[in-house]
Amino acid sequence: MAGWRNFSIGAALICALFVIAAHALDNEYFFFAGFFVLQFVVLATAWNLLGGLAGYVNFGSGAFVAAGAYTTVALLKTAALPIAVPILCAMLVAALLGATVGLMTLRLRGIFFSIATVAVAVILETVVMNWEPVGGARGTTLLQPVVPFGLTSYNRFLFVLMGVLAVATVALARHIERSWMGRGLRALRDSEEAAESLGVPTMRLKVMAAALSGALMGMAGALLPLAVSFIEPASAFSLNYAVSALAMPIIGGTASWLGPVIGAVLLGSVQQLVTVTISSELNVLAVGVLLVIFVVAAPQGILGWWRR
C-alpha cells in the first residue's frame, strides 16, 4: 500500500512538472518533440501488455494508432466536441478492434500471429484510403481549436495532455503487472499449456490484453491529427509505429512496466535528435541500429543489464 501511495505521489508530481514546463519554457520545439516522446511512452507501454507480458508479438501497432487518429478526425469533422470525447471514442474503437482481432488471431502462435497482425494493418489502411469523409488517400486537414487554460500555444496544451495520458498509462500497466491478470499473462507466456492445466483462463486473458493494448494505442493516436494538423494514410499507418513499438520495450526491457518507459524516452529522444540534426528519413535507421546494439549487447534490455 505504501509503495502504491509513493508511486501516486510521484505520478502527481510528474504531471505538475508538465504543467509548470508548459508555462515556463519558451522553446516551442521542445513541446512538439516532447509530445511525440510521450506518445512513444504510451505506445511502448501499450505494446508491452500483449507483447511483453503475454509474449504475443504485435506488428500491427500502426493500425491501432491510425484507428484512434481517424476516429478523432471523423468526430471533429462532424461537430465541435470537447477533446475528451474523441479520446474516449478513439479508445473504444481501438479496444473493439483489439478484441476482434484477438478473437480471430490469438489462437495462432509465434510468427503466424505476427503475420496476421500485419494483415490487419494492411486491410485497415485500404479501407481508410477509400473512405472519402476522412480524406481518403489524399488525406485531410484538421484545424486546431482555441488554446485552453491560458497557454500560449496548442503544442503546450497537447504536451501537457499527452503527459497526463502517459502517466495514467504507466500507472495502469504497473497495476496490471502486479495483479492477477499480470500473473496469468506471465504464466501463459512461459507455457500456455501448463497455465491452462492449472486453470488459468488463457484465451480470456489474451483477449483482455489485446483490447487494453489496442485501447491505449488508440489513445496514443487520438491526438496525432491535432498535433500535426494534417493526416493521411501513409503517415498514420507508418512503419515507424510498428517498428518503434516493438523496439522500445526490447531496448528498455519487457520484464517490467519501467522497461518500455526507459526505451521510449531513449528511442524517442534519439529520433527527434536525428530529425533535427540529420534527416527525418533516418528515423527508422536509428531504431534499427539501436535495436541491433541492444539485442546483441543486452538481450534483456537496459533493466536486465542493470539488474545483472
In this structure, what DSSP letter does residue 137 have? Answer: G
Please give the grid coordinates belonging to residue 155.
503544442
Residue 3 CB: number of other CB atoms within 10 A?
9
Cα dihedral sign, 52-128-160-95:
negative
Rounded distance between C-alpha atoms, residue 20 and residue 37, angstroms:
18
Please give the grid coordinates belonging to residue 248.
522500445
pLDDT tens, residue by residue, 273-296: 877 777 666 667 777 777 788 777
Question: Pairing mode, if any, of strands 230-231 and 140-141?
Answer: antiparallel
pLDDT tens, residue by residue, 49-100: 998 888 888 888 889 999 999 999 989 888 878 888 999 999 999 999 999 9
- pLDDT for the residue 130: 86
Position of cell 479501407? 127
pLDDT tens, residue by residue, 209-256: 999 999 999 999 999 988 888 888 888 888 788 888 888 898 888 878
- pLDDT for the residue 146: 67
> 284 near 233, Cβ under 8 Å?
no
